[in-house]
Amino acid sequence: MVDLSSYKGIVFDMDGTLVDSMPAHMEAWRVTCENYGYPFDLDYMYSLGGVPTQQTVVVLNDKFSMDHDPSEVARYKRESWEAMKLEPVIIESTMAVFNHYRPHMAIGIGTGAERPHAEHLLTAHGLLERIDSLVTATDVTHGKPHPETFLTVAQQMGVEPSECVVFEDTEIGRQAAEDAGMDCIMVNNGEIQV
């Protein structure tokens, strides 16, 4: 077990870090990109993990010189994901950390997912009632890589950012954690990198 005793709070990203939902999200993005004419590159799209959906559309519009309406494309992507009816599974390595430290440490989730999606996933796995804070793309003005998501989680938990550690699976998430003044532990393919 990774030693986190020097911290007072743990912040987990959700998709790809605590819950293995990235394959389903990537398939929904593939369908969405095909529908709107964006070239689909799995590695590139995965690198945008943690960026709110509408902001991802802004990034794609800039990259490919397109001008699709971000809210329309985001809605299409969300509906594509929901139509798949895939129930993501818990990632065992990070869930072990969650369960080990939950009794005596504040735990929050900072995700680029929209609130209804996050609440659905966390409720399905019995986690929503076990956390001290949930901050989603719906709750912030600036999504990752901006630090607002993680700073808001720390504030809601009542823990100083410097006393928090973040578990993340993307470079964008790592940047957000570091810009929030938090240490970051990466999760790669379900394995904690220490």
Q: Is 15 a catalytic residue?
A: no
Q: Of 13, 15, 139, 169, which residue is the catalytic one? A: 13
DSSP helix/strand/coil, 105? coil
Distance CA 194, CA 187 (A): 9
- Contact status, residue 150 vs residue 140, Cβ threshold 8 Å: no
Q: Nearest 10 degrees: CA dihedral of 89, 139, 129, 26?
A: 0
User: CB-hemisphere CA count at 13 Å for 134?
Assistant: 18
| DSSP strand pairing (106-110 vs 89-90) | unpaired
Is 43 in contact with 54 (CB distance < 8 Å)? Answer: no
3-state class (DSSP) for residue 135: strand
CA distance 136 to 143: 9
Q: Which residues are catalytic?
A: 13
